[in-house]
Every structure is written in structure tokens, then in C-alpha cells.
Chains A and B, each alone.
Chain A
């Protein structure tokens, strides 16, 4: 490991005019003995231009493919960044050990978005303008992703989103008031729309008609509920929607919300609570007798938090979804990834780890044998067919969304892996046309 690193300024080269001069003339040497002001400024300017234009001002002659990884590395959802880092570290190690990308090493510069749009945009600008990255990937928060989409379009750098789930990110601009999709933004994991299609399929099969939700008080919470209802109605299921609660992010006591939901006596609840909020909620829900009172709880982000086994695990038997399941599909590629990952980190890979891992390989496959150029990468991603641990899939040409299935299953403790897994697990394959048909009566875009 150790290939990825966190940087704050990203201007280290510019402070060393000698190294820039050496980069032009005498590779490998240290700074020259004398540097006057004029040559310093000239070298700085040259360095900045080279960084901005070529984007690969590496230490070695062969150049480096530099990718910017943007995740939440601090705060209540830092778990997601840690998981993603494991994934992209593993990919980088594998790729560099096997000759890199056309002989060039891959380097990841990881930045903390803090789950905040302004911070994320600042980091993105720094990654592009100061570090000259060849491409970007990551993003955990839908709110951040929606704010970033127009920015990457302006900067003309490809962005492979690996976690943030809002359908509006891959709904072409103009399709809906909230749509921000554009030709530079791609997503390699399933989105909220696909996930809620799966949730509606699960819900329609259960002996439950009255449904409620408890979700975070921002777009992701509301969209989950909107899509869940729209798909259940699209499927023609006998369902009533009776209660909705939206506690703020980082709520320390969910008890009033829990009491309101229990008081409405729904048969089932869908919850997109995530990060540490989910952990806090689980403990307080258990204390309030939630799982005795409510027959079915569907956790749409549960397995992302749950697998690493710190914090309260999801109760066995409840339904949860995942964007990637370490045991699905039963392919050699998935098995190899699962075994390698487990050997390296002593835990099963979560979907955030797999998404980040696969993003690096997507860049490798796009750049290999082709030009390392943002527009060329973008064009290769468009409609690209790809294969990874998650299985074989392709990117929809109009939306840039990977067409991958919804995965829902029952939470079960697995002794062999010392982890929660989904068993039994159901895979819901679906096409964008089918999703559009189901959403026809709503104004929601499928984002696929």
C-alpha cells in the first residue's frame, strides 16, 4: 500500500524550481545551485502550465496516470471514505504490480469532501488545476454530487461516481427540474431509482400494505420515499403510505421520530438512514421496541455501514439492499476480488470498496491503448461495456448510468466470514425502459 496519499496544497513542485528545471532537462537530478527570481518565475509558470495542460507531471520519465479520489474521510460518514480507500488502494496495487496502464503507474490523490458541496468543489478545483489529475472518481453524498456535476462539465474532466445515488445525477439536464446529468458525469454503481425498484419488488411480495419512512432530512431521504411510492404504485401493489419522518443529519436522539413511526403502526418501513446516523438509530429503535412493533424494516443503505462490523449490526432477518454483494455473481472475477480483499483487510468488501476498486479499473480500461486525454476517456466511458466483481454491465449511452441490478436480501450473520451477509439474496435485473414504464404516472426520471 502507500500509493494513495492525502495532500493539502498540491503545490510542492512549484516551490522547487530546480526540480521543474530538471524535469525539462536533467531527469533525476536535484535542484541546481543557483536560481534567480526570473528563472524561478519562469520555471513556476512552466510548471503550472505543464501541470494544467498535460496533467501528468510525474517524477518519472514514463509519466503517471493520476486520478483524484473524493470521499468523506472525516465526520459522521468517514467509514465510507475508509472503505473506498481500501478498494482503490487494492486496485492501484494490482495494476502497478502488473505493469501499470500502458507502462505508466497509477497514482491516486485522495481528498476529503467532508460531505460538503463547497469543500468538495474546492478540492475538485485543486485536484484539476494544481494536481492535474487525468480523471476524478468517488463521491458519497448525493447533495455533493449534484453540486459537482455542472462543475466537472465546466472543467471538462470525467467524473466516475461510485456511491452517491440520486437519480437526478444521471438524468440528462432538462429532463426534470432537478436533473444535472451531463456528458462528463458517469456512475458505476446502481442508483436510488434502481434500488427503490428492488425495494418495491421486495415490498410487493411482503404481507404488508401500510408503509412509512424515516430518512435523512435532505434530498436523499425525500427521493427515497418518492421513488419507493412511485415504483410500488407502478407495480400496482396494494399499498398505502401513512407516515414519513425526516430527522436532520447527525441527529443524536431519534426517539421522537421513532415514536411517531411506531405510533402510526405501519406494516413496514423503508429507511435510507446511513452512516453513523443509522448506527445511532438502530440502538435507539431497538430500545423503543421498534422490531417488536414493526414487522418489516427495509434498510436501503444498511449494508454499506454494516459489513465492517463496528457499531450495531442490522438485526438478522430484516431486509437490506446493497449496490454490490461479495457473493453475487458467482463469477471467478468476483471470487478473486473477494478473496484478495479479505486476505488484505480481514473483512469482506463493502459496496463502497468495490465501487472505488472498479472505478480505477474503469480508468485503466479506458486509457489503455488509447490517448490519456479527458475527452478520449469520456468518449470511451460513454456506452462502455465493462466487467468487474459486480458482474458484466454497460453504461447507458444517454444517461451514463451503469445498468446494474438491484440487490436485496435478508440480513444474516455468517460465521465463516464473521460478518453480516445477505442470505437469501435476490437480484433484480431491470432495463431503463422497464423503469421508465413503471414511473410513467409520476414525474420522476429513472436516471438509468
Chain B
């Protein structure tokens, strides 16, 4: 199909929707990528973390304080704390173990099941919806299509987070420690870096971002126990496409997958869900390291 024919079918609305889907996916994929890049841990529970962020934000606005922004912060922090507890309690003891990667994978997968059941027990299996903050509860018309201002805000938030992370990793002392440790853990340790503490900090940051993504996305989607399973698959596709460990790769990969999800239904009524998978296979075949590589890239 000629490129101009595809562009003819792709509207501004599709691009906006694609970016909004991509923005949500970025917030989860970047944490996943960061944790893998520094700790070498492939955190299967990252989708479940995203789900917890959404549920905590819901619970805070419904039962504690009717302030959306505080709920988002609470969701992100709560997930950060959960991440730290899991990392310190169950993953840290496995770093030195031979074949530890597999054990880490199994532990994090175990937490997917545990978190899923806890959420079902606490909130039930029915989906919940959450209102966008009143200050952004208005519609914006772009090229003849209507969007909620909140959807546009989430796109902006993803760009801000990306810029903030880039500055953090490339311009700060902590960022230098993170980059150094991800390159050579033993050397960093010999130079006096408290590696276990750094790992926990990075795990907190990655988990915090997943929680932030979940909480920010709550008004754009229904929140149910199935949410974590849905997003983790997309997140894995994104980090494979972008390159495991690359923040910029996660950003580009997320936006690409978001656009594929938005534009796919235009061309294939059913089965378009497979498009990102096909893209992942192509990347794996022709550029197995992903489009980008390495922390700070």
C-alpha cells in the first residue's frame, strides 16, 4: 500500500488517540525498561503495579479526599512503596544467586497472581470508572473531532515525564550513578556506590512511574482486575521494539504501539490487535537489540 494512501486514511483524530494510548503505555514501559536496564530484573508484576495505581487513585477519591491530583500522587507513591517492599523483601535476596534471573522472573510473576487476587478480593471483579478532574472536564475540538481536555493533558504529561527523566538521568549525580551501575555493577560497587540502595531507589522510581501511569489513566479507561494483564503485554512489546533498558526507546516504542492501536482498526476490523506483535517480531528479526539501546539513550 502506498504511504500516501495510508496517510489519507489516518486522521488527526487517530494521531491524537494514538498518542494518548502511547502516553499511558510509556509511563508503564519506561519503568519496566529502567528496572531492567539497571537491575537486570524483568518485572512481570509491572502491569499489576499500574493497576494498583489506578485502584488506589479510585479509592482515595471515593473514600478519603475528593481531590484528583492528591489521588494521583497517592496512587504513584503507594505503588512505589509496594515496589520497594517487593524488591527488598523478595528480589534482593536473589541477586547473588546463580540462575537468579529466572528466580526473579518467577517471583515477579507470582506477584502478578497475588496482586490480581488481592484486588479481586478488595474491589471485586467489576470495573470502575473515575471522573477526570473538574478543571479539565471540558471538551476540545481538533480537526473536527472532539477530545476531553484530560486526554490531551495525559499526552502532555508523558512528554514532561520523558523530559524530566532524561534530565534526571543525564544531568544529575544520581543519574550518573544509575548509568554507571547499569554499565558495570562491580566497578560501581568498588568505587563506593551503595548498589543495593541504588537498586531499591531505581525499583521505587520504576514502580512510582507505573503507579503514576495507572492513576493518570483511570479517567480514560475502565479499571478492573484484567487491566494489569492487558497493559503488561503491550509494555513488553514496547520495550522489545524500543530496546530493553532504553528510556527513549520506551518513549518511541510506546508512541508507535499507541499509534498502531489507534490506526489499526481503520484497516483491519478484527485482528488489528496483532499489528504490534508483528512489529515486535520484525524488530526481533532485523534489529534484536531494539530501535535504541542502553540507559540514558
A residues neighboring B (CB under 8 Å): 74-76, 78-79, 217, 244-246, 248, 250, 252-253, 255-257, 259-260, 262-263, 276, 279-280, 283, 287-289, 292
Select one of B222, B230, B265 contacting A276, CB under 8 A: B222
A78-B125, A245-B269, A259-B14 known; A280 vs B262 contact (CB < 8 Å): no
Nearest chain A CB to B222 CB, angstrom units: 4
Nearest B residue to A281 by beta-carbon distance?
A: B222
Select one of B11, B21, B125 contacting A263, CB under 8 A: B11
User: In the bound complex, do residue B146 and residue A289 qualify as a contact, i.e. CB atoms below 8 Å apart?
Assistant: yes
Chain B residues with CB below 8 A from A257, complex form: 265
Chain A residues with CB below 8 A from B17, complex form: 255-256, 259
User: In the bound complex, do residue A253 and residue B226 qualify as a contact, i.e. CB atoms below 8 Å apart?
Assistant: no
When A and B form their complex, which 6 residue pairs have the shortest distance between CB atoms, in order from nearest? A289-B146, A252-B221, A280-B222, A256-B262, A253-B221, A260-B265
User: In the bound complex, do residue A276 and residue B126 qualify as a contact, i.e. CB atoms below 8 Å apart?
Assistant: yes
Chain A residues with CB below 8 A from B278, complex form: none
Give chain B interface residues in 132-186, CB to chain A under 8 Å: 139, 145-148, 151
Select one of B222, B230, B263, B269 contacting A246, CB under 8 A: B269
Give bound CA distance, A279 to B129, whole Å.
Answer: 9
Give bound CA distance, A263 to B223, whole Å.
Answer: 27
Give bound CA distance, A244 to B267, whole Å.
Answer: 11
A260-B265, A276-B127 known; A76 vs B273 contact (CB < 8 Å): no
Other 5 A-B pairs with CB < 8 A, given A252-B223, A260-B265, A289-B145? A76-B226, A245-B265, A252-B226, A263-B13, A289-B146
Nearest A residue to B150 by beta-carbon distance?
A: A287
User: In the bound complex, do residue A252 and residue B13 qualify as a contact, i.e. CB atoms below 8 Å apart?
Assistant: no
User: In the bound complex, do residue B273 and residue A248 qualify as a contact, i.e. CB atoms below 8 Å apart?
Assistant: yes
Select one of B11, B125, B129, B270 contacting A75, CB under 8 A: B125
Count residues on chain B whose CB falls below 8 Å from chain A CBs. Answer: 34
Give chain B interface residues in 38-92, CB to chain A under 8 Å: none
User: In the bound complex, do residue B230 and residue A252 qualify as a contact, i.e. CB atoms below 8 Å apart?
Assistant: yes
User: In the bound complex, do residue A74 and residue B125 qualify as a contact, i.e. CB atoms below 8 Å apart?
Assistant: yes
Chain A residues with CB below 8 A from B261, complex form: 256
Give bound CA distance, A283 to B128, whole Å.
Answer: 12
Q: Check if B119 is an interface residue, CB within 8 A of chain A.
A: no
Nearest chain A CB to B127 CB, angstrom units: 5
Interface string of B17-52 (1 = CB under 8 A from A): 110110000000000000000000000000000000
Give chain B interface residues in 220-276, CB to chain A under 8 Å: 220-224, 226-227, 230, 261-266, 269-270, 273
Give bound CA distance, A255 to B219, whole Å.
Answer: 13
Select one of A78, A217, A253 contacting B270, CB under 8 A: A217
Chain A residues with CB below 8 A from B14, complex form: 256, 259, 263
Nearest A residue to B267 by beta-carbon distance?
A: A260
Chain B residues with CB below 8 A from A256, complex form: 14, 17-18, 21, 261-265
Chain B residues with CB below 8 A from A260, complex form: 265-266
Chain A residues with CB below 8 A from B269, complex form: 244-246
Chain B residues with CB below 8 A from A289, complex form: 139, 145-146
Chain B residues with CB below 8 A from A253, complex form: 21, 220-221
User: In the bound complex, do residue B126 and residue A76 qualify as a contact, i.e. CB atoms below 8 Å apart?
Assistant: yes
Interface string of B208-223 (1 = CB under 8 A from A): 0000000000001111
Chain B residues with CB below 8 A from A250, complex form: 127, 224, 226, 230
Give bound CA distance, A29 to B40, whole Å.
Answer: 66
A–B pairs, 17, beta carbons within 8 Å: A78-B125, A245-B269, A250-B127, A250-B226, A252-B222, A255-B262, A256-B14, A256-B17, A256-B18, A256-B263, A259-B14, A263-B11, A263-B13, A276-B222, A280-B221, A283-B129, A287-B151
